Structure 1
Amino acid sequence: MTTTNRIMVVDGMALLFRAFYATAMSNYYMINSKGTPTNAVYGMVKHLFTAIETYQPTHVVCCWDMGSQTFRNDLFPDYKANRGAPPEELIPQFDLAKEVVESLNIPNVGQVGYEADDCMGTLSRLYSEHSQVFLLTGDQDLLQLLQPNVHVVLLKKGYGNYAEYHQDSFYEEKGITPSQMVDLKALMGDSSDNYPGVKGIGEKTALKLLMEHQTIEGILENLDKLTKGQRTKIEQDLEMLHLSRQLARINCEADVNCSLEDALFYIDDEKMEAKFNELEFRNWKKNLVRI
């Protein structure tokens, strides 16, 4: 069954950070006459417009983290504790980014205590019952959300370069199903999110174990078939294994919603132009892709 709605759910944080670091490396912050840096917001809009031009969605929603404390920190206080504070040039751009998104008539969605990933997962479950969903992100964690109607579009270097994943192509490439991604991360941990998984088990071993035994439960039921080293590592880190799985799983029951009516993609040119000019976006008519 084909559906006419094509809903793009955007990871606002991923686009904003990517755009910031692409220009900050050369100290190009695009500071306007008010002293406000705008490089991240400008680049985010370019990423957004390029993706919209490529995928032609009928509806667009943008999801955000709402502060650094989430339910995962309650489970594991060291979760993401390795992340430093954002650069000072980026801090004022968080609110600006949401203002710009709002000026494009795109809803901003977020929920305190949850990450943008959780909001994206929740919305993808709601929308995929009746629509094609495209999750635009730079974060491979979202691959666990792949379903027949849910595609993940990963940003690659530059503008307009994507790795697009479907449920079937993911299995062909990785050898495991999207839902097994959660157990994979539980076993091998995630250094960027700062949780260890099972010490001494890397991606190669974790993939092999999941291909043989399907799930963590399957592995635990067959400990006697594992090598002595694998068995010892898992038994020693059993508690952390279960905790890591809770941290790795995207929560698709965040308290967020956004009606299709609100998400319908329609730009009011005057509203957009006023915002872009207020922020003193340079050459935006030429450089920002218009749909």
Structure 2
Amino acid sequence: MDFKGNDQDRILLVDGMALMFRAFYASAATGYIRRTKAGIPTNAVYGFMRYFWDAVQKFNPTHIACCWDLGGKTFRSGQFAAYKGNRSDAPDELIPQFDIIRDVMDSLDIPNISSVGYEADDCIGTLAAKFSEEMDVLILTGDHDMLQLVSPKTSVIIMKKGVGNYMVYTPDSLMEEKNLTPIQIIDLKGLMGDTSDNYPGVRGIGEKTALKLVQEYGSIEAILANLDGLTKSVRTKIEADLEMLHLCRGLAQIRCDVELVCSSDSCRFELNPVQVVSKFEELEMASVCSWMGVAVV
């Protein structure tokens, strides 16, 4: 998939949470936390920009928006109290960098998008549905749950280890690699659950069995319509956890109907060099301007 030299409109929807956590832990693992002279930690900001700018150069978007969680309760935690209940608090050095990274996006004239009661995933899903009607959509993330958003107009870019390593998923490559359609990702998660998000799925059914069932029958509805054809063990597990199965499938599904104010014009990617240089000089990161090729004459 060639993006260079292609002037067709395309929007890059950035999973800000995924990039920020990846950037923080990749650099914090060395034991060194980059800080300004005033002692403000900026390692996640610097790493975020490395990941972000590499993707901008590779995928050449004409439009960009960055989506964020707001913290606090969401509609999912209202449906299932233990949802993400296993997550530890963010490290102290990371907390002040949340706002700094959003300020950096502001300086790049890139909209920061979020919504009370929803996750960044839901904002991305909503914007993908909205903008796919007028341009190609690219989603930059490390979260495989986003694969459910793949469509003929929406590609999901999964970040691999290191900077510059990506797997771009289209409907064809998703089917080729995983033998699944995008919507089947939701059913798979409903059956097997998600330890990262702390919902169980059907107790006793792991990824291998869930994958086999979804590939063989196509959907949860078809599995339930053919319970008599399942092994006694699998049928018993599903029948015992029917309510949880439906709940977990709902938790796994990314919402694409969040009320958001975000126009394509507001997302057009056009840097203001004065703003950019001012922000990175403030953060004592002049080197970022140099590898972005931004300078004020």
Contact 2:23 2:44 in 1 (8 A): yes
Label 1:4 to 1:285 Cα distance change in 2 as closer, same or farther (>3 A): closer
1:50 to 2:54 alignment: yes
Q: Please report the RMSD computed on the Cα atoms of aligned residues, expressed in angstroms.
A: 1.4
Q: Spell out, residue by residue over 1:126-168, the C-alpha distance to the aligned partner (whole angstroms, 9 max, x if none).
A: 0111211000001000000000010000111111110110111
Alignment of 1:36-185 (within 5 A): 36-185=40-189
Q: Which residue of 205, 214, 238 maps to 1:210?
A: 214
Distance 2:111 2:186 in 1: 29
Give the aligned residue type for 1:104.
L
Distance 1:66 1:153 in 2: 23
Give the aligned residue type for 1:136.
L
Partner of 1:283: 287
Matched position secondary structure for 1:283 = helix
Distance 2:216 2:60 in 1: 40
Contact 1:71 1:114 in 2 (8 A): yes
Unaligned runs of 5+ in 2: 1-5
Contact 1:29 1:38 in 2 (8 A): yes
The alpha carbon displacement at 1:212 in A equals 1.9
> What is the aligned residue count?
289
Matched position secondary structure for 1:233 = helix
Partner of 1:233: 237
Distance 1:3 1:126 in 2: 20
Distance 2:7 2:277 in 1: 33
Distance 1:56 1:30 in 2: 29
Contact 2:64 2:267 in 1 (8 A): yes
Identity of aligned residues (%): 53
Unaligned runs of 5+ in 1: none
**Higher mean C-alpha displacement, 265-274 vs 209-218:** 209-218
The alpha carbon displacement at 1:3 in A equals 8.9
Partner of 2:31: 27
Distance 2:30 2:213 in 1: 44
Distance 1:193 1:142 in 2: 14
Q: Spell out, residue by residue over 1:193-233, the C-alpha distance to the aligned partner (whole angstroms, 9 max, x if none).
A: 00000011111111111122111111111100000000000
* TM-score normalised over the length of structure 2: 0.95
The higher-RCO structure (CA 8 Å, 6+ apart) is 1
Label 1:122 to 1:223 Cα distance change in 2 as closer, same or farther (>3 A): same
Contact 1:50 1:289 in 2 (8 A): no
Distance 1:129 1:22 in 2: 36
Alignment of 1:218-229 (within 5 A): 218-229=222-233
The alpha carbon displacement at 1:282 in A equals 5.3
Contact 2:115 2:260 in 1 (8 A): yes
Q: Which runs of 4+ in 1 moved over 2 A?
A: 282-286, 288-291
Contact 2:277 2:286 in 1 (8 A): no
Label 1:180 to 1:139 Cα distance change in 2 as closer, same or farther (>3 A): same
Contact 2:192 2:202 in 1 (8 A): yes
Matched position secondary structure for 1:253 = coil
Label 1:3 to 1:275 Cα distance change in 2 as closer, same or farther (>3 A): closer
Give the aligned residue type for 1:274.
S
